[in-house]
Amino acid sequence: METILIADDHPLFRQALAVAVMKVAPQASIIEAGTLAAAVGAAGGAAGLRLILLDLKMPGAVGYSGIALLHAEQPDVPILVVSSADGAKAAEEARALGAVGFLSKDSDLPAIETAITRAMGGHRLPAPPERPEDAVQKEVASLTPTQLKVLLEVLNGKLNKEIAHNLMISEATVKAHMTTIMRKLNVQNRTQAALVARSLGLDLNH
């Protein structure tokens, strides 16, 4: 059975999205999540996951981290962002970090239904001209869920010991992840890694 994950912290909007999903995929099983942590957990354990509908502004999310974390958790599952963030800029960032589409929360129900149908059919956002930062965003999109969590902890100013405690891993594992992160982002230290991540909007509120 197909499963569709709806991740949004507003119950009424989740209900509206569920109505749209049932219209275009009546046989699908719907999972709802009101926080980013719940969404990531659901994505990791869902059977037959076909689509993720994601709001950028959710408890536990910073900037575009929700896209990055869910894409890392389920790289083959399309993510359709439904957000009140600025369309043109947010759509570019969303695409670069792994989303297949971007839809404004002001969209009417037929538009939402069409976007869901297209996303499930494998259609992606039209790719804009390549930008220098796109290569770095692709590297961020290739990080594992744990590596992304480590990078977000670094953005929050946490030391390796604190990161290890928060993520329940060893300091040696944190160091190993940081080495991989710095190599992928082509930087020399954690400060530079944080600056790169910040420049991509991972710690900005949208």
What is the secondary structure of 88-149 as a DSSP string? HHHHHHHHHTT-SEEEETT--HHHHHHHHHHHHTT--PPPPPP-HHHHHHHHHHTS-HHHHH
Residues 115 and 167 in one domain: no
For residue 56, tell me if it sits in a domain: yes
In total, the chain counts a number of residues equal to 206
Sequence-ordered list of residues with C-beta below 8 angstroms from that of 202, at least 6 positions apart, any chain: 62, 63, 64, 65, 68, 140, 151, 152, 155
User: Token digits for 94?
Assistant: 């969303």
pLDDT bracket for residue 201 (50, 70, 90): low
If asked whether residues 145 and 105 sit together in one domain, one would say no
Most trustworthy range by pLDDT among 135-139, 143-147, 172-176, 185-189: 172-176
Scan for tokens 């080495």, then name that residue: 179
Query: Residues 184, 101: one domain?
Result: no
Whether residues 69 and 170 share a domain: the answer is: no
Whether residue 167 is found in the same domain as residue 116:
no
107 and 143 share a domain?
Answer: no
pLDDT at 204: 45
Q: Considering the domain boundaries, does residue 144 fall inside one? A: yes
For residue 204, being part of any structural domain is answered with no
Tally of domains in the chain? 2
**Domain of 99: which CATH number?**
3.40.50.2300
120, 154, 170 — which closes off a domain?
120
In a domain? residue 190 = yes
Residue 116's pLDDT is 92
59 and 83, same domain (yes or no)? yes
Q: Same domain for 99 and 45? A: yes
Least confident of 72-76, 157-161, 174-178, 198-202: 198-202
Where is pLDDT greater, at 165 or 88?
A: 165
Question: Which letter does DSSP use for residue 142 in this model?
Answer: T
Structure tokens at 175: 């160091």
Residue where one domain finishes, among candidates 85, 120, 155: 120
Examine the fold and report which residue of 86, 120, 154 is the final residue of a domain before the chain moves on. 120
Using CA atoms, how far apart are residues 93 and 81, in angstroms rounded to an integer? 11
- Integer-rounded Cα radius of gyration of the chain: 17
Q: What is the DSSP letter of 54?
A: E
C-alpha dihedral (132, 52, 167, 142), degrees to nearest 10: -30
**Mean pLDDT, the chain, whole residue set:** 85
Q: Token digits for 12?
A: 């009424």
Task: Output the domain CATH number for residue 148.
Answer: 1.10.10.10
- 110 & 140 share domain: no
| 27 and 98 belong to one structural domain | yes
- For 194, the domain range is 132-199
Residue 62 sits in the same domain as residue 143 = no
Query: Considering the domain boundaries, does residue 68 fall inside one?
Result: yes
Residues 35 and 114 in one domain: yes
